A and B are shown apart, each in its own frame.
Chain A
């Protein structure tokens, strides 16, 4: 299925700046985490979202606080946009007790019930079934809430993807499936993994309305998500969005990227969702140099505060090692 191109409508200035700022906030936050990873402050796996920011920012901001989000192990951006405090995320990556998962999850497993942010799932595709269950509970209680489930193109090859789409469609559950198609399942290109690379088509084969959207364009993602979430909220069953995007960095910090050419990456970087949006806003006369300076300044201050929060956080006592395994 082809990308649905939306006509370029000049956004309201405050809204446009908020979108830009949120994307920039993710980018700068993750640059900091990469630096801290090199310093050994953050360990384990660290999967960065550079290049894909328009997807999280476009999609998650339009959800209401009552809606739920299920994400993958590449979920820093989604968590930030959802409103999880940056300090709690940084502290989680430090493994500190003031982290959003009390140091038991790390980069891959952010959770925050207060924000209805339900992970942070590290088994590819697993979150889809979980999201179906969240939505089933809402449907059984007749709650008009949306469960937004984000996953990558890699999940599409998993059996659970097909089982979950089938179940959601069969039971008309309020799930918004959002595929962040960055063209690679770790190092395996989509054409080497899927016999049919048209992912939205697969959703349609389960009788789910599906749309392909330019995942490098925050306004396009936003517009599509508003439509999709509205349909889901009004009991029309699941909707599927495929956002075509690209990850500028490797799969994780350990990835030497032998599977793709520098030229390919460079070509995609020309479509950087942040710089392109910035340019567009300047063309529209909505953005000035001082706007950008202000944004960078406040983001930088927020990141400094987050690092300080993480640095100052306590380590969980070893006596609490088995705490939270069960409730009793």
Chain B
């Protein structure tokens, strides 16, 4: 086992893919000479050269579109879109091309494309660099949406994405990059579409993903101190969504809370809640609850940003109310 950061785990998967598959290349803004906005691709230019580690101009739509075309034409591009707010500039390419061309062509064209980007708040970057819009992407059939929350998954899910024949979007919560953990570099790809239980419990199910996993685990610890045993489920993949794991847990706990850093209205948490009710209404002793972000553009000031985001304390409070 090797100790590494989340950032290094992503890089380790990228390096492995670049070494093993000549079709793999990386493109994005400042992935090369600068070393990556979040330093994920640091050092790769020196090892693999500028043809395979391609710096792009600030042209999100064009380089995501070029990734689609290159994937169709036999390559295995990995596109880095600096941050999720910027990905909206490429949303046409993502929805109208990446997610539709295979279907529209009657299955003739495959798009083995991986797109990575940072998501989420917590670093005082205000309202144009901090949102959690991965739930929007999870709305789209034709693509996979992965949200690695641990160091091991940062590597394992990226390796898995590179085995997929269709477009995969990976959302890396920006606060996770310095996170340290243990990774076995001999471990291969994770399985896409499998949620996992990060903490076992039998009184309430806490469903979360990505950057909210840490806060949810913290909340589960506090709840245990107060005599409530929470089970924490890390979704890992929003599409495909592993409802079986969630429902198996709810069957045991009869209570569920979904923690999601997106805005509550129209959130992915709403989708999970709806599916719990569709598939497990009779299992529930209490309405499914959601802990989401306040409905504001993300503020800059630290105390305001903290107030806008789901926090361990909020999760604890919501759970305790379910037991009154």
Residues of chain A at the chain B interface (Cβ within 8 Å): 68, 99-105, 109, 111-113, 118-123, 126, 128-138, 140-141, 159-160, 163-164, 166-167, 170-171, 322-328
Contacts and interface: CB of A to CB of B under 8 A. Distances in A.
Q: 3 closest A-B pairs (Cβ-Cβ)?
A: A133-B69, A129-B65, A102-B106
Contact of B68 (A112, A120, A133, A159): A133
Given A111-B104, A126-B97, A325-B142, 11 more contacts: A99-B106, A102-B107, A104-B106, A121-B97, A123-B96, A128-B62, A128-B65, A138-B73, A141-B75, A163-B61, A327-B165
B92 interface: yes
B165 A132 contact: no
A104 B66 contact: no
Contacts of B75: 136-137, 140-141
A141 B23 CA distance: 9
Given A133-B71, A140-B25, A119 B66 contact: no
B86 to A, nearest CB: 13
Given A129-B65, A132-B66, A163-B62, A324 B106 contact: yes
Contact of A325 (B70, B97, B103, B110): B103
B107 A126 contact: no
10 contacts: A104-B104, A111-B101, A121-B97, A129-B69, A130-B65, A132-B66, A133-B77, A137-B69, A324-B102, A327-B102
Given A133-B68, A138-B73, A324-B103, A166 B109 contact: no
Contacts of A136: 66, 69-70, 73, 75
Interface of A (DSSP majority class):
mixed
Nearest to A165: B62
B216 interface: no
Interface residues of B, number: 40
Given A105-B106, A170-B57, A129 B25 contact: no
B72 interface: yes
A119 B105 contact: yes
A80 B22 CA distance: 36
A167 B62 contact: yes
B161 to A, nearest CB: 13
A54 to B, nearest CB: 27
B102 A133 contact: no
Contact of A137 (B74, B102, B105): B74
B25 A323 contact: no
B250 to A, nearest CB: 27
B57 A119 contact: no
B59 interface: yes
A28 to B, nearest CB: 26
B261 interface: no
